[in-house]
A = this chain, B = another copy of it.
Amino acid sequence: MRDAVVLLSGGLDSYTAAAIAKTEGFALNALTIFYGQRHAREVEAARAVAKALGVARHQELTVDLRGIGGSALTSDIAVPKTGVVAADIPVTYVPARNTIFLSLALGWAEVLGAFDIFIGVNALDYSGYPDCRPEFIHAFESLANLATRAGVEGARFRVHTPLISMSKADIVKAGVELDLDYGLTHSCYDPPTDGRPCGRCDSCVLRARGFAQAGVADPLLR
């Protein structure tokens, strides 16, 4: 089995992307990056999802982006809870987040001798983040081949984005078909103290819309 590094946040998208990697025959090396968000619930979700996937390795890394700030997810800016998703890039955008995540995944891939990286980005229901677009992913692949010892020696890295053209409803349907337990996941940007989803942040709204359009009940809301 070939090794792949899969970025695993404990959310619905990365769980589904990792499960697809598994069906494609990859041994999963799950990388969870904690970047200073309110995170006890996310640690728990990432570990539960990694266990459910039967990963070969699970590596947790902490990169405290609170020093950099600039996002509702890494600073004191409030997470908007309007119940609708705005058209422009929202304050939950974390500057250069996927570039940072893919760089760390690339470093680990090179150590493992792996050339395949999976990331659950989505260019449709994606909250308007620039680093979820196909042109960004292609630019990162080019960079990876120049950045690494393996690339210099002729290896070709591939960044797999199995969800990139899927709607949230398609993702939910794919996960249900793969028998994934979405009750293990965590999506809310800013859960109340009881740990339940807030239901009104972008991430909750996109998730709810996906389950509704797929005609599936969200097990987190049972």
Contact = CB atoms under 8 A, between A and B. Distances in A.
Contacts of A68: 59, 61, 104, 107-108, 111
A147 interface: yes
With a 10 A CB-CB cut-off, give which of A60, A99, A104, A144 has the most chain B CB atoms.
Answer: A99
Interface in A109-163: 110-111, 130-131, 133, 135-136, 139-140, 142-144, 146-149, 151-152
Contact of A89 (B61, B98, B152): B152
A76 to B, nearest CB: 13
Given A61-B67, A136-B147, A99 B93 contact: no
A2 to B, nearest CB: 18
Given A70-B111, A152-B89, A147 B65 contact: no
Contacts of A99: 103, 106-107, 143-144, 147
Given A97-B107, A100-B100, A139 B146 contact: yes
A15 B61 CA distance: 28
> On chain A, which size bracket covers the interface?
35 or more
Contacts of A147: 96, 98-99, 130-131, 136, 139
Contact of A130 (B93, B104, B148): B148
A98 to B, nearest CB: 7
Nearest to A63: B63
Interface of A: 59-65, 67-70, 89, 93-100, 103-104, 106-108, 110-111, 130-131, 133, 135-136, 139-140, 142-144, 146-149, 151-152
